[in-house]
Structure 1
Amino acid sequence: MEIKYSTDKIPTADQVIELYDNAGLPRPTNDKERIQKMLNNSDLIVTAWHNDLLVGVSRSITDWVWCCYLSDLAIRGEYQKEGVGRKLINLTKEKVGEQSMVLLLSVPTAMEYYPKVGFVKQESSFIMHRAEWK
């Protein structure tokens, strides 16, 4: 199985919605307009494709010189544990460069995954929660 990675091939909102739902990523997938805005306002989107099927995405917001917030990492269920997530993270880090840190907020089910791919758990973060989507 050959997976192709790209920073130029931007998926449609429908493709991302289907991927997020398949991967179990808690995002407002019932709101296509909001998902489209999430894509439009991202600074870096790295995708993984098996032929024409979107199998993974790393979506980030960054200033390119200090920090990169990896806001979404989603891998299609049947492609998990194949190194796709690690590759998307590595390509994200490569693209933002050595001066920039990569940080994220993890969903509870991925807390054990991120240390395995090079992230260091921090105890110094804060969050103001958004209003829940409907």
Structure 2
Amino acid sequence: MSAAIVYAREPALAAGEFRQVLVDSGLGAIRPVDDGERLQRMLDQADLIVTARRDGELLGVARCVTDFSWCCYLSELAVAKSTQGLGVGKGLLDETRRLLGPTVSLILASVPEAVGFYERAGMAAMPNAFWYKRDY
């Protein structure tokens, strides 16, 4: 019998662990994983970081920017490929929503490969979203 997955708010997540879960999830291909200072700033400036751990091992991270009142942008939902399909991503979404409360909208931009996951999780697609893409 394997240990339970523990979901928690973790504002002091180490940049090295964050980097590793980005790499393990596949998001490392589109995140600045070779820029440790930038990864640290991403963590330092996040308003909400939720982690999933089993026996202390980091399985996934939800990193958010929010006002805790109206809206929350979920910048990363990263789950190690070795644990994808076990409900970790859905658990991170559920815990993030619980911490935000029912009056805060949760918004994200999905990579094409994850669209089906978000649809199955009950999220609605937003056809009228816009953005100025960063240079890097």
TM-score (norm 2): 0.93
Question: Per-residue deviation at 1:108?
Answer: 1.4
Which residue of 34, 41, 61 maps to 2:38?
A: 34
Counterpart in the other structure of 1:19: 21
**Where does the alignment leave 5 or more consecutive residues of structure 2 unmatched?**
none
Q: Which runs of 4+ in 1 moved over 3 A?
A: none
Contact 1:69 1:103 in 2 (8 A): yes
Question: Per-residue deviation at 1:103?
Answer: 0.4
Post-superposition Cα deviations, 1:14-39, rounded to whole Å, max 9, x if no partner, equal 11111100110121000010000000
Post-superposition Cα deviations, 1:22-79, rounded to whole Å, max 9, x if no partner, equal 1101210000100000000011110011112110000101111110101100001111
Secondary structure, aligned partner of 2:75: strand
Contact 2:11 2:48 in 1 (8 A): no
Q: Tell me how far apart the structure 2 counterparts of residues 115 and 96 of structure 1 sit (CA, whole Å).
A: 20
Contact 2:61 2:76 in 1 (8 A): yes
**How many residues in Structure 1 have an aligned counterpart in Structure 2?**
132
Contact 2:97 2:106 in 1 (8 A): yes
**Where does the alignment leave 5 or more consecutive residues of structure 1 unmatched?**
none
Contact 1:4 1:49 in 2 (8 A): yes
Counterpart in the other structure of 1:108: 112
